[in-house]
A = this chain, B = another copy of it.
Amino acid sequence: MGYRYEIRFSGAGGQGLILISIILAEAVGIYEGKFVSQTQSYGAEAWGGSSKAEVIISDEEIDYPEVMNLDLLLAMNQKSCDAYYRDLRQGGILIVDSTFVHQVPTPRAFSIPFTHIAREELKQEKSANIVALGALTQLISIVSPKSIEAAVLARVPKGTEKMNRAALKAGIRAARQAKKARKEIEIVPEISEEELRDAY
């Protein structure tokens, strides 16, 4: 039985989501030899300046390159988080750019300030997409940081390699912190009704 993993990157136009979806598809398809399709749609339903790009990964040829059961949603702004959270399957992974997403619909989301990191650490706000891509490698096991790095360096303009490597590293660091923070939250034991009564 084959697997199928569905990813959607969403946010505002200009946040570079199509680019990172292509980089992810190339990393997985070319460097890791899996089957991948990568799609974006435009149309009358699109709200002004929004962007959505999807990557579907499988170990079998992909017949239907459309999201059916979303495994991972990256939302780089509030509007896309609100619009697409409902498409995420139960137990699916939500990653938000906490620079712009302040109303997070689940405490289980990974909230990472991608744009803030890009602005402060890299002095290049536009690299927030590559920071997010670096983070992704720590939050799912479908693609290695090494494949992502190779695919990034093959796609970005000459002269920006060093900056893009730094962006990936910043994303990896931030995701590790976010995972650690979530674990710390999770080990706080739930308080039972009984304990709650006893506490007063």
A interface residues, Cβ below 8 angstroms from B: 18, 22, 25-26, 28-30, 33-46, 61-66, 157
A-B contact pairs, 12 of them (CB 8 A): A28-B42, A29-B42, A33-B44, A35-B41, A36-B41, A37-B39, A37-B40, A37-B42, A41-B62, A43-B61, A43-B62, A64-B64
**Do A65 and B39 have beta carbons less than 8 Å apart?**
yes
Chain copies in the assembled complex: 2
A45-B30 Cα distance, complex, nearest whole Å: 11
A152-B3 Cα distance, complex, nearest whole Å: 37
A36-B33 Cα distance, complex, nearest whole Å: 28
Find A30's partner among B35, B42, B61, B63 (CB 8 Å cutoff): B42
| With known contacts A39-B37, A40-B37, A61–B46 Cβ distance under 8 A | no
Closest residue of chain B to A56 (Cβ to Cβ) is B41
A18-B36 Cα distance, complex, nearest whole Å: 14
Closest residue of chain B to A13 (Cβ to Cβ) is B30
Residues of chain B contacted by A39 (CB below 8 angstroms): 37-39, 65
A22-B17 Cα distance, complex, nearest whole Å: 12
A-B residue pairs, 9 tightest by C-beta: A29-B42, A35-B43, A39-B39, A37-B41, A36-B42, A38-B40, A39-B65, A25-B42, A65-B65
CB distance from A152 to the nearest CB of B (A): 15
CB distance from A159 to the nearest CB of B (A): 11
Residues of chain B contacted by A65 (CB below 8 angstroms): 39, 41, 65-66
CB distance from A69 to the nearest CB of B (A): 16
Closest residue of chain B to A37 (Cβ to Cβ) is B41
Residues of chain B contacted by A28 (CB below 8 angstroms): 42
Find A18's partner among B22, B37, B45 (CB 8 Å cutoff): B22
